[in-house]
Chain A
């Protein structure tokens, strides 16, 4: 999983996998989900991310991580 935040536009893209999507759906104002050909969720597009209180912090709990990088 990769989280890309663009400060200039306050946009956050959460890449849940490297697969491309074939369809998308806006589930809330400024939040678009991207799905692959099997209907699997492959990414989340969040606009005005800093205004979303739920994503102002990240808590990782019991994740089976093999790698954690800050870029």
Chain B
């Protein structure tokens, strides 16, 4: 996860459980999201289509829009 700023939770729990999450996908989601939405709690959702997953990946950052806190393939996302 070089060049990717993350929370401790993302690094120690999310990535441990979801090793298929790649830093490239997270960085692309943040820099060039297909869609971007601010959650009620201020955190920001970014979606990007990932060919390897054949799904949209949801990347959630903290309020700063940079620090990745969560990421998972979003089965319910409707483009």
Residues of A that sit less than 8 Å from B by CB: 4, 6, 8-9, 11, 13, 15, 20-26, 32, 34, 42-43, 45, 47-48
A45 touches B70 (CB 8 A): yes
Taking a contact as CB atoms under 8 Å apart, the answer to whether A22 and B13 are in contact is no
The B interface is mostly helix, strand or loop, or mixed, namely: mixed
Whether A9 pairs with B7 at a CB distance below 8 angstroms is yes
Given A13-B13, A24-B72, A26-B72, verify A6-B7 contact (CB < 8 Å).
yes
Task: Looking at the assembled complex, report how far the CB atom of A30 sits from the nearest CB atom of chain B, in whole angstroms.
Answer: 9
* Given A9-B7, A9-B69, also A22-B12 (CB < 8 A): no
- Please, what's the 1-or-0 string for B52-79, where 1 marks a CB less than 8 Å from any CB in chain A? 0000001000100000011011111000
Q: How many A-B residue pairs have CB under 8 A?
A: 56
**Residues in B lying within 8 Å of A, measured CB to CB:** 7-9, 12-14, 16-20, 41, 58, 62, 69-70, 72-76
- Would you give the shortest CB distance from A25 to chain B, in whole angstroms? 6
A23-B73, A25-B75 given as contacts; is B9 within 8 A of A13 (CB)? yes
Contacts of B70 in A (CB 8 A): 11, 32, 45, 47
Q: How far is the CA of A4 from the CA of B15 in the complex (A)?
A: 13
Chain B residues contacting A6 (CB-CB under 8 Å) are 7-9, 13
